[in-house]
Structure 1
Amino acid sequence: MVLRKIFPAMYAAPDTVPAVSRNATLYLLRCVFLMGIRWPPKNFFLIYCLWSLALNLCSTLYQPIGFMTGYIIHLSEYSPSQLLNSLQVALNAWTCSAKVIIVWFLVKRFDRANLILDEMDKRLTQPGEHNKVNNAVSNSNRIFFSFMTVYMIYATSSFISASIMGVPMFQNYYPFLDWRASRFQFWLQSGLEFFAMLGACFQDVCVDCYPINYVLPLRAHLANFAERLRQLGNDPDEHPDQLYEKLIGCILDHKVILRYCDTLRPVISGTIFVQLLVVGFTLGFTLINIVMFANFGSRIAALVFMTAVLMETTPFCILCNYLADDCYKVADALFESNWIHQEQRYKKTMLQFLQSLQKPIVFMAGDVFSISVATNLNATKFSFSVFTLVKQMNIAEKLSKPKEV
C-alpha cells in the first residue's frame, strides 16, 4: 500500500481509467532530470547547475580518467583480483560516459516520443485497449526499478567488500590524495569512489532502461492496432465509404507508429552500439576474476556486476525480437480482416498497405547491425573467447606469481 501511494505508476490502473502511455517513462524521465542533463529550471537554476556539475564531473567526466591514471601510476601495486575488478568496471564506466553524452545531446527526442504516445492514446476507445496500455505502463516502471535495484546493489556490495579488505574499490587516481597515508585519506577516497560509482550506476540505469520503457507501450499500441485492423469490414451495416475512411485512419495510425520509432532510433542506435562493442570484454574480465582470483565477497559483487552488464543489452534485444513478431501479427491481422468482398478501391489500398506492414520495425546499432537476440549472443559469446585466450596464454598464472624483490 505504501509503494502504491509513492509510486502509483508501478501498478496497473483499472480499465475504466483512460490510459496514459507517457506514464511508462514517468520515473525514467524524473531520473534523467536528476542526471543533470536537462535545461535548468528557473526556480532552482543555480542548485541544478551545481548538482549537474558535481555529478557529471565525478561520474561522467573524471571517473574514466581516474581509472586510466590509476593504472599508469599504480599498476604494479594492484593484485590480480583488484586489477580485473577495476578493469571490468573501467570498461563499463567508459561506455557509460559515452552513452550519457549521446543521451545528453538527444534527450529532447524523449519528449517528442511522449507527444507521439499522446497521439496514439487518442485512438484508444475500448476498455480492453486501455487495459493493455495500462499493463504496459506498470510493467515498464517495475522493470525500471528492477534495474535500479540491481545496479545499486552492485555499487553498495563493492563498497562494503572493499571497506572490509581495507582497499578502495577501484584505487582511482585523485590528486593530492594517498589512501595509504592515513585512515582519513582512505575513507575520503573510498567515499569519493562510492559517490562516483553511485552516480555512474544511476546514470547507467537511465541510459540502459529507456529503450525498454519506450518500446513496451509501443508493443501495447501495436496489439491494439492489430485488433482494429482485424475488425475492419465486420460491420454489415457499414457503408463502403465509411469502411474506406477507417482504412485510411489505420494507415495514418501506422505512420504515427513509424514516426515514433524514427524519433527514438538515433538515441537507441548510439547507446546500444557502444554497449555491444565492449560487452564481451567486460564479461570476459569478470569471468576470469570470478573463476581464478576473487574471494567470496568479491565473487558476490562480480556476479551482481555480471547480471547488471547482461541487463544492459539482453532485455532490449529480446524486446526487439518480440517487436518484429508483433509487426508480422499486424500484417496477418489486416489479411484476416473482411476485405475479399469489398469494393475495388478498398482492395487496392488495402493491398498496398499490407505490403508496407510486412516490413518489420527494426532498430539498428550504429547503422551497422540489427539489434536482436542473435546479435546479443554473438557479442556476449566473445567473453568466452577472452577467457579462453587468457587461459591458453597462462596470463592468470603469471599475474598470480609473487613479484621478485
Structure 2
Amino acid sequence: MALREIFPSMYTLPDTAPAQSRNATRYLLRCIFLMGIRTPPKGYLFFVYILWSLALNLCSTFYQPIGFMTGYISHLSELSPSEFLTSLQVAFNVCSCSIKVMIIWALVKRFDQANLILDEMDRRLLQPSERRKVHRAVSISNRIFFCYISVYFITVTSTFLSSVIVGVPMFQNYYPGLDWRAGQFEFWLQSSLEYFTLLGACLQNGCMDCYPINYVLILRAHLANFAERLRKLGQDADETPEQRYEKLVECIQDHKVMLRCCDTLRPVISGTIFVQLLVVGLVLGFTLINIVLFANWGSRIAALTYMTAVLLQTTPFCILCNYLADDCSKLADALFESNWIYQDQRYKKALLQFLQRLQKPIVFMAGNFFTISVATNLNATKFSFSVFTLIKQMNIAEKLARPRGVEYN
C-alpha cells in the first residue's frame, strides 16, 4: 500500500479515471532531471541543481571515459586476463554512454514536445475500454523502467563488491594525485569515486535505454484504440453522410497526430540506438570470452549481469519496433473492415487515400542507416560470436593466460 502511494503510476488506474499518457514517462523524466540536463529550477534550488549537474556530468559524462582509458593504459601490464577483458568491455560502453548522454542533452526538449502531443491524443479517449488500454500501458512502462534501473544498479553493485573482496578498485580509473595502493584510505576513496561515477552512468544508461520503450508502449496503446475507431466508422445507422465524413476526417487528423509524435522522437531514438548497436557486438564478445575462459565464479556472476544489462539496451526496443510495424498493418485492415461500401463518392475517395497512407508502417531508423528491428539486433548480437571466434583462432586467449616472462618454443 505504501509503495502504491509513493509510485502511483506503477499501478493500473480504474477505467473511470481520465487517461494521462504522459505518466508513462513520469519517473523516467524525473530521473532525466536528476541527470542534470534539464532547465534548472528557479529560486535557491537553481544553484543546488547546477552544482549537482556539474558533479554528476563531470564525473560520469565527461571525465569517466578519460579517466577510465588513462588508468586502463597505465595499468595495462598489471591487469589479469579477466580484469583486462572486464575493462575492455566496459571501455566501449563507457564511451558510448557519454555520446548518448550528449545526444539526449541536445534533444531533451523533444520529450516535452512528445508529451504535449500525447495529451492531445488523450482527449480523443472517451470510452472506458480505450482508457483501460492506456492505463495498462502506463503502469507497464513504469514497471519496466524500474526493472531497468534495478538491473543496472545490481550490475554495478555486484562488480563493486567483487572488486572490494579482491582488494582492487573496479576499473582502476586515473585520478590525479590519488594512488589507491598507498593505503586503505586511498583504496576506499578510489573505489568510492568509481562507484559513484558508475552509479551516475547507470542512471544515465537506464534513462537512455528505457525512454524509447516507454514511448512506444504508450503509442501502441493509442494505435490499438485508433484501430477500433477505424473499424467502427460508418456503423451508426443514425448518422448522416456528413457526420460520417467528419468522423473519417477526424480519424485522418488523429493519424497525423500520431505520426507527429513519432517524428518528434525519431531524431533522439535514431542517434542513441545507432551508437548502442555499434558497440553491442564488441561488448558481448569480450564478455563471452571473459566468462568462458578467464573469470572466476564471482566475476562470472558480475559478467552475466553485465551481459543482461547490455542486452537490455537494444533487444526489447527492437522487438517493440517489430510489433509497432504489425500494429500499423492492422490499421489498414481495420479501415477496410469498416462500413465504407455504401458511402458516397466523397467518402470513398478520402478513405482510399487514407488507406494508402495507413499501409506505410511506422519505422524508426538507427542513424538513418538501417531499420531498427529484431533482425538488426540479431545481426549486432551475432557479431559477438564472430569476435569470440576471432579471438580463439588467433590464440589471443592463450597468450593472455600465459604467465609473464614465460616463452614457449
For Structure 1 versus Structure 2, the TM-score category normalised by the shorter chain is over 0.9
Contact kept? 2:72, 2:171, Cα under 8 Å:
no
1:32 aligned partner: 32
| 1:143 counterpart letter in structure 2 | I
| 2:107 counterpart letter in structure 1 | L
CA distance in 1, matches of 2:2, 2:168: 39
CA distance in 2, matches of 1:353, 1:394: 59
2:176 aligned partner: 175
2:130 aligned partner: 129
Residue 250 of structure 2 is aligned to residue 249 of structure 1? yes
CA distance in 1, matches of 2:249, 2:188: 66
1:50 aligned partner: 51
Structural mapping, 1:145-156, within 5 Å? 145-156=146-157
Residue 187 of structure 2 is aligned to residue 186 of structure 1? yes
Contact kept? 2:72, 2:87, Cα under 8 Å:
no
Residue 14 of structure 2 is aligned to residue 18 of structure 1? no
Contact kept? 2:209, 2:313, Cα under 8 Å:
yes
| 2:317 counterpart letter in structure 1 | F
- Which runs of at least 4 in structure 1 moved beyond 3 Å after TM superposition? none
| 2:5 counterpart letter in structure 1 | K
Q: TM-score, normalised by structure 1?
A: 0.99
CA distance in 2, matches of 1:38, 1:238: 49
Cα deviation for residue 195 of structure 1 reads: 0.4
Over the aligned positions, Cα root-mean-square deviation in angstroms equals 0.7
| 2:363 counterpart letter in structure 1 | V
2:239 aligned partner: 238
CA distance in 2, matches of 1:293, 1:361: 44
SS of the aligned residue for 2:353 comes to helix
The number of equivalent residue pairs is 405
CA distance in 2, matches of 1:22, 1:159: 35
Contact kept? 2:178, 2:186, Cα under 8 Å:
yes
Contact kept? 2:20, 2:122, Cα under 8 Å:
yes
Cα deviation for residue 72 of structure 1 reads: 2.2
Describe the superposition over 1:119-142 as per-residue Cα deviations: whole angstroms up to 9, x where unpaired. Answer: 000000100000000000000000
CA distance in 2, matches of 1:96, 1:380: 18
Cα deviation for residue 73 of structure 1 reads: 1.3
Describe the superposition over 1:168-189 as per-residue Cα deviations: whole angstroms up to 9, x where unpaired. Answer: 0011111111111111111110
1:208 aligned partner: 209
CA distance in 2, matches of 1:66, 1:377: 32
CA distance in 2, matches of 1:369, 1:213: 22
CA distance in 1, matches of 2:332, 2:170: 53
SS of the aligned residue for 1:338 comes to coil
CA distance in 2, matches of 1:240, 1:148: 52
CA distance in 2, matches of 1:299, 1:174: 28
Unaligned runs of 5+ in 1: none
SS of the aligned residue for 1:356 comes to helix
2:167 aligned partner: 166
Residue 160 of structure 2 is aligned to residue 139 of structure 1? no
CA distance in 1, matches of 2:39, 2:134: 30
CA distance in 2, matches of 1:8, 1:92: 33
Residue 287 of structure 2 is aligned to residue 286 of structure 1? yes
Residue 407 of structure 2 is aligned to residue 394 of structure 1? no
Structural mapping, 1:222-233, within 5 Å? 222-233=223-234
Q: TM-score, normalised by structure 2?
A: 0.98
| 1:138 counterpart letter in structure 2 | S
Cα deviation for residue 71 of structure 1 reads: 2.4
CA distance in 2, matches of 1:295, 1:63: 26
Describe the superposition over 1:244-297 as per-residue Cα deviations: whole angstroms up to 9, x where unpaired. Answer: 000000000000000000000000000000000010000001000101111111
My pick for the range that moved more, 67-76 or 281-290, is: 67-76
Unaligned runs of 5+ in 2: none
Identity over the aligned pairs, expressed in percent?
Answer: 76
Structural mapping, 1:254-293, within 5 Å? 254-293=255-294
